[in-house]
Amino acid sequence: MAGWARRGSVGGITVTETPEATVAHLWGEIDDALRQQAGAVLARALDRNLPIVLDTGRVEFIDSAGIAFLIQLCTIGREEGLAVTLHDPPAVVSEVIEMLGLTELFDGQTPAVNA
């Protein structure tokens, strides 16, 4: 079997709610298998109506579905008047963002996370 074959996602999205923000912690492999978790995070973040922090520091792999989630959360959050920031993107995330020409969407988005 080819070494690149994937057996399923080993990753997740968890949320920490602080008085100042909703922090989405993404870890491991961020792909289509996390669609339901991503939708729940988006709904919760919009419901709280506080700034949103996307903490990607522990992401090991991200595919187009994962990038689409980041774009969707950023775009919808900002349309709703919420500050959305990308925190601590590892090379695997920042390189894809740059390759897709999305740097301006996430530019300067690295605040401290106290969660």
pLDDT value of position 19: 95
Q: Residue 61's domain spans which residues?
A: 11-106
pLDDT value of position 17: 95
Q: CA–CA separation, 82 vs 109, rounded Å? A: 13
Query: Residue 21 sits in a domain of what CATH number?
Result: 3.30.750.24
Q: Evaluate whether residue 48 is within a structural domain.
A: yes
pLDDT value of position 104: 86
User: Which residues are bridge partners to 55 per DSSP?
Assistant: 25, 87
- pLDDT tens for the 115 residues of the chain, in order: 333 334 455 899 999 999 999 999 999 999 998 988 888 999 999 999 999 999 999 999 999 999 999 999 999 999 999 999 999 899 999 999 999 989 888 764 444 444 4
Q: Evaluate whether residue 87 is within a structural domain.
A: yes
pLDDT value of position 3: 37
Q: Evaluate whether residue 35 is within a structural domain.
A: yes
Q: Which residue has the tokens 């993107």?
A: 89
Q: Evaluate whether residue 4 is within a structural domain.
A: no
Tell how far CA 41 is from the center of its chain.
10
Asked if residue 74 lies in contact with residue 46, where contact means CB atoms within 8 angstroms, the answer is no
